[in-house]
Chains A and B, each alone.
Chain A
Amino acid sequence: MCHYKIIDQLLQILGLSFHPKRPWVLASLHNGVIQLWDYRMCTLIDKFDEHDGPVRGIDFHKQQPLFVSGGDDYKIKVWNYKLRRCLFTLLGHLDYIRTTFFHHEYPWILSASDDQTIRIWNWQSRTCVCVLTGHNHYVMCAQFHPSEDLVVSASLDQTVRVWDISGLRKKNLSPGAVETEVRGISGVDLFGASDAVVKHVLEGHDRGVNWAAFHPSMPLIVSGADDRQVKIWRMNESKAWELDTCRGHYNNVSCAVFHPRQELILSNSEDKSIRVWDMSKRTGVQTFRRDHDRFWVLGAHPNLNLFAAGHDSGMIVFKLERERPAYAVHGNMLYYVKDRFLRQLDFNSSKDTAVMQLRSGSKFPVFSMSYNPAENAVLLCTRATNLENSTYDLYSIPKESDSQNPDAPEGKRSSGLTAVWVARNRFAVLDRMHSLLIKNLKNEIVKKVQVPSCEEIFYAGTGSLLLRDADGVTLFDVQQKRSLATVKIAKVKYVVWSADTSHVALLAKHAIMICNRKLESLCNIHENIRVKSGAWDESGVFIYTTSNHIKYALTSGDHGIIRTLDLPIYVTRVRGNSVYCLDRECRPRVLTIDPTEYRFKLALVNRKYDEVLHMVRNAKLVGQSIIAYLQKKGYPEVALHFVKDEKTRFSLALECGNIEVALEAAKALDERSCWERLGEAALLQGHHQVVEMCYQRTKNFDKLTFLYLITGNLAKLRKMMKIAEIRKDMSGHYQAALYLGDVSERVRILKNCGQKSLAYLTAATHGLDEEAEALKETFDPEKETVPEVDPNAQLLQPPPPINPLDTNWPLLTVSKGFFEGAIAAKGESSALTHNRYGFMDAQEALGDDGIGKEEGGGWEVEEDLDLPPELDMPAGAGGGAEDGFFVPPTKGMSPSQMWCNNSQLPVDHILAGSFETAMRLLHDQVGVVNFGPYKTLFMQTLSRGRTCYLGLPSLPCLRSHPQRNWKDCGAKQGLPAVGLRLSDLISRLQQCYQLTTAGRFEEAVERFRVILLSVPLLVVDNKQEIAEAQQLITICREYIVGLTMETERKKLPKDTLEQQKRLCEMAAYFTHCNLQPVHMVLVLRTALNLFFKLRNFKTAAGFARRLLELGPKPDVAQQTRKILAACEKTLTDAHQLNYDPHNPFDLCAASFVPLYRGRPVEKCPLSGACYCPTYKGQICRVTQVTEIGKDVIGLRVSPLQFR
Chain B
Amino acid sequence: MAAQQGDVDELFDVKNAYYIGSYQQCINEAQKQPRLFVFSFKPSSPEKETERDMFLYRAYIAQRKYAVVLDDIKANSPPELQAVKMFAEYLSSESKRDAIVADLDKKMAKSVDLNTDAALRTLHQGESLECMAMTIQVLLSLDRVDLARKELKKMQEQDEDATLTQLATAWVNIAVGGEKLQDAYYIFQEMSDKYSSTLLLLNGQAACYMAQNKWEEAEGVLQEALDKDSSHPETLINLIVLTQHLGKAPEVTNRYLSQLKDAHRAHPFLKDYLAKENEFDRLVLQYAPTATA
Contact = CB atoms under 8 A, between A and B. Distances in A.
B143 A947 contact: no
Given A889-B144, A929-B289, A870 B110 contact: yes
A1150 B175 CA distance: 51
Nearest to B240: A943
A946 B190 CA distance: 24
Nearest to A916: B283
Contacts of A863: 47
A983 B292 CA distance: 36
B211 A961 contact: yes
B121 A851 contact: no
Contacts of B288: 929-930
B290 A1177 contact: yes
A865 B50 contact: yes
A604 to B, nearest CB: 30
B152 interface: no
B108 A1179 contact: no
A865 B83 CA distance: 14
Contacts of A876: 106-107, 109, 118, 121
B141 to A, nearest CB: 6
Contact of B144 (A447, A891, A931): A891
A928 interface: yes
A6 interface: no
B84 A868 contact: yes
Contacts of A1179: 289, 292-293
B165 to A, nearest CB: 10
B42 to A, nearest CB: 15
Interface in A844-895: 851-852, 855-856, 859-878, 880-881, 883, 886, 888-895
A940 interface: yes
Nearest to A957: B234
Contact of B277 (A866, A930, A939, A979): A939
A949 B234 contact: yes
B289 A1187 contact: yes
Nearest to A482: B8
Contacts of A868: 54, 58, 80, 83-84, 130
A1178 interface: yes
B268 interface: yes
A481 B191 CA distance: 17
B96 interface: no
A968 B179 CA distance: 9
Contacts of A870: 108-111, 119, 122-123, 134
A441 to B, nearest CB: 11
Interface in B238-287: 238, 240-241, 244-245, 247, 250, 253, 257, 268-269, 273, 276-277, 279-281, 283-284, 286-287
Interface string A465-496: 00000000000001111100000000000000
Given A870-B109, A892-B143, A949-B174, A979 B244 contact: yes
Interface residues of A, number: 113
Given A889-B144, A915-B279, A462 B194 contact: yes
A861 B47 contact: yes
A426 B86 CA distance: 41
Interface in B108-165: 108-112, 116-126, 128, 130-131, 133-134, 137, 139-147, 160-163
A446 interface: yes
Given A860-B46, A866-B51, A889-B147, A501 B193 contact: yes
Contacts of B9: 480
Interface in B69-120: 72, 78-80, 83-84, 86-87, 91, 106-112, 116-120
B276 A942 contact: yes
Nearest to B119: A870
A479 B162 CA distance: 7
Interface in B16-61: 18-19, 21, 23, 31-32, 34-35, 45-51, 54, 58-59, 61
B1 A866 contact: yes
Interface residues of B, number: 128
Contact of B273 (A446, A890, A939): A939
Nearest to A977: B213
Contact of A948 (B34, B122, B207, B293): B207
A167 interface: no
A1027 interface: no
Contacts of A931: 280, 283-284, 287
A951 interface: yes
A969 to B, nearest CB: 7
A951 B139 CA distance: 12
Interface in A402-452: 423-424, 426, 438, 446-447, 450
Contacts of A932: 284
Given A424-B183, A462-B193, A974-B177, A861 B244 contact: no
Contacts of A940: 244, 250, 253
A950 interface: yes
Given A479-B162, A951-B137, A956 B125 contact: no
Residue picked from A424, A450, A913, A950, most chain B C-beta under 10 Å:
A950
A1020 to B, nearest CB: 15
Interface string B175-192: 111110111001100110
B211 A851 contact: no
Contacts of A967: 178-179
B268 to A, nearest CB: 5
A447 B160 CA distance: 10
B124 to A, nearest CB: 4
Interface of B: 1, 5-6, 8-9, 12, 18-19, 21, 23, 31-32, 34-35, 45-51, 54, 58-59, 61-62, 72, 78-80, 83-84, 86-87, 91, 106-112, 116-126, 128, 130-131, 133-134, 137, 139-147, 160-163, 167, 171, 174-179, 181-183, 186-187, 190-191, 193-194, 199-200, 203-204, 206-207, 210-213, 234, 237-238, 240-241, 244-245, 247, 250, 253, 257, 268-269, 273, 276-277, 279-281, 283-284, 286-293
5 contacts: A873-B122, A930-B284, A953-B61, A956-B112, A980-B244
Given A867-B80, A895-B177, 18 more contacts: A852-B34, A860-B46, A861-B47, A868-B130, A871-B86, A873-B108, A873-B122, A889-B142, A915-B276, A916-B279, A943-B253, A948-B269, A949-B207, A951-B137, A952-B134, A966-B181, A966-B213, A981-B247
Can you list the 5 inter-chain pairs with the closest CB atoms, starting with the nearest? Answer: A1177-B291, A866-B51, A869-B131, A892-B143, A869-B126
